[in-house]
Chains A and B, each alone.
Chain A
């Protein structure tokens, strides 16, 4: 009995660990389908969905899913790409138990050695002031982002180790108080996460710090009200009135929103255009640009 319990617990923990990118459907109102690898099937409660799944919901339908770490999410949009919401599954405040055992495990593995005997591993301390933003390439231009509610991940690529990076959210463009400091666990962050730690403010600034030093200029993040967004969408509708093709219309709306720095909302429009014409390379490019992790070439001598 005890052996069976231990094996079950171990397997449960193992599957929980490997299934970090999975979602469990636990609530379904109305009808919805799920498309994975171009195969569609009706969505069912209890179904486990992978990160690559695309949900299509009928009118008035809603879906509730659970992330691997038990964060619930609800969707009522006609289409939901789970890869665009996967970032919201990152747990920013791990449990005390997890933190404690992570500390013990890290300490157990950290076998102290003399730095001079393994010098190249320990040559991480730079004896000079850094001028310029140290090699962090973002997927999108992060200097100004406007956000309503469309899921958006800001990803970056850097040669710097993650434990050297932290994200600060500030009240002001320069100086001012720090609203939150977030540790960097992955090479991306969702705007939702930034919003969560913005303490209800409609405008904040954020920056990635290297070794607790702020080398890069602060980025502006505006959480727009629905009314303002609707005005912009109305302008976009007027601007695209001449087009009758739904895909092209969505693409141009996406372009308009991107120009207005609504990257998340623009991504939704571009995705809709691409879904209507999956082979259109022009429609694919902005979707790729807004979702792909950028490439970076370190300077070499």
Chain B
């Protein structure tokens, strides 16, 4: 630790963060032809806490029942809603986006059945344009409430976040899961609202097999349906076959962590996961950015002291040792992030720290040259002026 409190160590650490800051100011994506970077663009190592842990093999959430409408037409969906009324569900969320009118008689039937069913939440789409938000979904005025079904994520990317509420001017729009929770559990809704998070991390706890799923066609022949649906949150949506990618998205539960794969979860199951998370209060909180930076700063300072030690005292082995240390630390910090996510329900981003560790070795060369130049010109006292390497 003899180099920890040397001014060169402190200045070299600051130089690392200055370089990082300068890199972030470059308006162009300098990784344009870096295949590894491109492949890793939508990768978060924290996803491993969902995918590789045994967490997602948990219990079935008996509060939620999903009804798969498959490719049923609007008339069949209207009939389903009429049938559901007799089973007294707590709330019915229709995760189908009706964009335009079709057959007037069937549309009237659907309108009537939506309007007649109490506590119905109908899905709509919301897009934010320069001219303001555009909301699509022509049957929403007939439902008790409506909620937007948009997730936050790169197009065709991994879905990790959702926005619980969106506000503009005098309007507050609710997300589809938020609107459902409002009917299902007022205290859980109050908690969601009180958090005031503009983007909530989705805590994926269940696969589609961990929700009771009924098929619309099979429902007619099932005598025990009423007991399954009574006082439950019923989600009506589409679940296709294994190779059907309609309304399928990539999630952290995808068995293929990176590289090319097929989407793994239907939108309705993602909504179910969000609802489960809100009901159970199992939110994932993010470590604030300032704390991430502070941790990175402190660790880089310590790391720099060791880097300078190897640089000055074991220069022959400097590069080899530092590369090994960099690799080991990167693996350890990813592991630490997973552990923090798993046991503390906290999302820690160690990317600043990992980048600073990677940069430290190269920045030290630059700092050494600068310090020697300052020494020559202005008699600046530096530990690098001894030719011991």
Contacts and interface: CB of A to CB of B under 8 A. Distances in A.
A126 B152 contact: no
A128 B124 CA distance: 9
A299 B136 contact: yes
Contacts of B128: 120-121, 123
Contact of B199 (A119, A126, A129, A164): A119
Contact of A104 (B32, B157, B245): B32
Interface of A: 104, 107-112, 115-116, 119-135, 159, 164, 212-213, 215, 298-301
Interface stretch (B205-213, B217-225, B266-274, B353-361): B266-274
A92 B294 CA distance: 53
Contacts of A120: 128, 166
A42 to B, nearest CB: 47
B153 A130 contact: no
Interface size class of B (residues with CB under 8 A): 35 or more
Interface of B: 27-29, 32-33, 38, 41, 69, 74, 95-102, 123-129, 134-138, 140, 146, 148-157, 159-161, 163, 166, 176, 198-199, 201, 237-238, 245-247, 249, 267-268, 270-271
Contacts of B32: 104, 107-108
Contact of B137 (A123, A213, A299): A299
Nearest to A125: B151
Contacts of B148: 123
Contacts, number: 142
A116 B38 CA distance: 19
A137 B99 CA distance: 13
Nearest to B148: A123
26 contacts: A107-B29, A108-B29, A111-B27, A111-B28, A115-B161, A116-B152, A123-B128, A123-B150, A124-B150, A125-B159, A126-B97, A126-B125, A126-B151, A126-B267, A127-B95, A128-B95, A128-B97, A129-B69, A129-B247, A129-B267, A130-B96, A130-B99, A133-B99, A133-B100, A135-B136, A164-B155
Contacts of A119: 152, 161, 163, 198-199
A2 B218 CA distance: 77
Contacts of A129: 69, 95-97, 237-238, 246-247, 267
The 6 closest A-B pairs by CB, nearest first: A127-B267, A129-B238, A116-B199, A123-B150, A120-B128, A132-B99
B134 A298 contact: yes
A128 B29 contact: no
Contacts of B136: 134-135, 159, 298-299
Contact of A128 (B101, B123, B155, B166): B123
Contacts of B201: 116
B140 A115 contact: no
Nearest to A104: B32
Contacts of B38: 107
A135 B246 CA distance: 18
A159 B134 contact: yes
A134 B99 contact: yes
Contacts of A133: 99-100
Given A125-B155, A126-B267, A108 B96 contact: no
Contacts of A107: 29, 32-33, 38
A240 B125 CA distance: 50
A294 to B, nearest CB: 14
Contacts of B237: 128-129
Contacts of B125: 126
B150 A127 contact: yes
A109 B69 CA distance: 42
Contacts of B135: 299-301
B267 A301 contact: no
Contacts of B41: 112
B39 to A, nearest CB: 12
Contacts of A213: 246
B163 A123 contact: yes
A118 to B, nearest CB: 9
